Amino acid sequence: MNKSLSEILIEKGLFLTALLSCFIILVISCFIFIEGLPAIQEYGFVKFLLGNVWSPNEDEFGVFSMIAGSLIVTFIALLISTPLSVLCAIFMAEIAGDNVRNFLKPVIQTLSGIPSVVYGFFGLIILVPFIRSHFGGSGFSVLSASLILSVMILPTIISVSYDSIIVVPREYREASLGLGATGWQTIRKVVIPSALPGIITAIILGMGRAVGETLAVIMVVGNVSKIPYSIFDPARTLTSNIALEMSYATGIHYHALFATAVILFILIMLLLVVVKGIQKKFSLDINGGSS
């Protein structure tokens, strides 16, 4: 069948849009790497990556403490949010009635639409003083940032996990129930394993959101460039470092901030590689088990 003119135009338009998107990403990536390269060449990549001191006035540009801060804050946020998110998605998809589900979905969507500065302001006014009063210290800490981030990434993990669960074929559930399994056994042994690649993707997407968050973290994490040894210690993340100092950076300091963005870019790329690898592994395991 010959394609109509409108179909051809739509097809070409979508193709050009995809090319434009790839081109924009490529331009941004090249710009970041080109601007960060002078600092890496002058200071040394290994020294920049593993250095533990960030002091622009003394020409010290080590980002290891900020890598550690970013990963620790993100990991704790995921530890808090992942169980809550997955359980909420299971409840919405498998247990809740239509009225409850119709109530929860817009509430979760509202959470995802709240600006990050509002989360940060809440943490600054409520969370930081609470931690200061009950646990000591300044209150500006890894724990404060992790708690704020855990709430911010809840909608992402819940939504993607929910979509992954509801697309599990109904025949799987009916077959399990027909063999005498209970509803919970069906969810635990059939539905969750089938939806696991999508759930893992949801967790990684939440991780990417947490790693890239800036404003809310700046307001509550303390912004001290040292490795945190306790959840009540202040820290500084890679994104916070760029946002705090870019407005006045010049010379090698300016390029070092772009080099920090390069490290952040590499971390995000590694996350994407992990997503693809995990998805492929679990897809093969599930397909092999089903066959």
Homologous superfamily of domain range 65-249+263-290: MetI-like (1.10.3720.10)
pLDDT at position 215 is: 86
Closest by Cα among 169, 180, 171, 158 to 96:
158
DSSP state of 9: H
Pull the structure tokens for residue 36. 């960060």
In this prediction, residue 149 carries a pLDDT of: 93
Residue 168, both tokens: 């599990």
Comparing 204 with 147, the larger pLDDT belongs to: 147
| Angle between helix 251-290 and 192-212 (nearest 10) | 180
pLDDT classification of 190: cutoffs 50, 70, 90: confident
pLDDT surpasses 90 at 172 = no
Q: Which long-range contacts (CB under 8 A, 24 or more apart) does 251-255 make?
A: 252/38, 252/39, 252/42, 252/43, 252/59, 252/61, 253/56, 253/61, 254/35, 255/35, 255/36, 255/37, 255/38, 255/39, 255/42
pTM for the complete prediction?
0.84
Q: Rounded to whole angstroms, how far apart are CA atoms 17 and 3?
A: 20
The C-alpha atoms of residue 256 and residue 16 are separated, in whole angstroms, by 35
Confidence (pLDDT) at 284: 60
Q: Please give the share of the chain, as a percent, with pLDDT higher than 70.
A: 95
Q: How many CA atoms lie within 13 A of 96 on its CB side?
A: 17
β-pairing, 60-61 vs 54-55, is: antiparallel
The whole-number average pLDDT for the span 208-217 is 86
Find the mean pLDDT for residues 207-221. 87
Position 150 scores a pLDDT of: 93
Q: Is the pLDDT of residue 264 over 80?
A: yes
- Domain limits of the chain? 65-249+263-290
Residue 188 — very low, low, confident or very high, per pLDDT cuts 50/70/90?
A: confident
The three-class DSSP label of residue 114 is coil
276 has a pLDDT exceeding 80? no
**What is the secondary structure of 169-236 as a DSSP string?**
-HHHHHHHHHTT--HHHHIIIIIHHHHHHHHHHHHHHHHHHHHH--HHHHHHSB---S--SSTTS-B-
Q: What is the mean pLDDT of residues 240-256?
A: 88
